[in-house]
């Protein structure tokens, strides 16, 4: 029971990280445009970024799985000895 709870907790943590990526990018873009034009652009960009973040996180969760997705992103092929022709 403990392992399943921990695995679910990790999946949700990765899901929130995936949600934050579009949210922060669109929020920063809205802040930049809001400083130049009008702050209402920033306030409008926050829910748009949140909705796009939820859609992106759910897409990745359904298609790849969040932990598999992050595992593929963080994989370091230079640490594989079979792929490395140079010995350290």
Q: Are 49 and 27 in contact (CB under 8 A)?
A: yes
User: 83 pLDDT exceeds 60?
Assistant: no
User: 58 pLDDT exceeds 60?
Assistant: yes
16 is a domain residue = yes
pLDDT of residue 84: 52
30 is a domain residue = yes
Domain that holds residue 53: 7-75
84 is a domain residue = no
Of 29, 12, 20, nearest in space to 54 by CA = 20
28 is a domain residue = yes
Question: What number is the average pLDDT over the span 38-49?
Answer: 92
């Amino acid at each position: 029971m403990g392992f399943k709870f921990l695995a679910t907790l990790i999946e949700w943590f990765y899901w929130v990280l995936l949600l934050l990526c579009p949210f922060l990018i669109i929020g920063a873009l809205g802040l930049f445009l809001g400083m130049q034009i009008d702050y209402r652009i920033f306030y409008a960009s926050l829910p748009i970024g949140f909705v796009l973040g939820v859609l992106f996180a759910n897409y990745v969760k359904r298609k790849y799985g969040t932990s598999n997705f992050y595992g593929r992103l963080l994989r370091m092929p230079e640490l594989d000895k079979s792929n490395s022709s140079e010995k350290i």
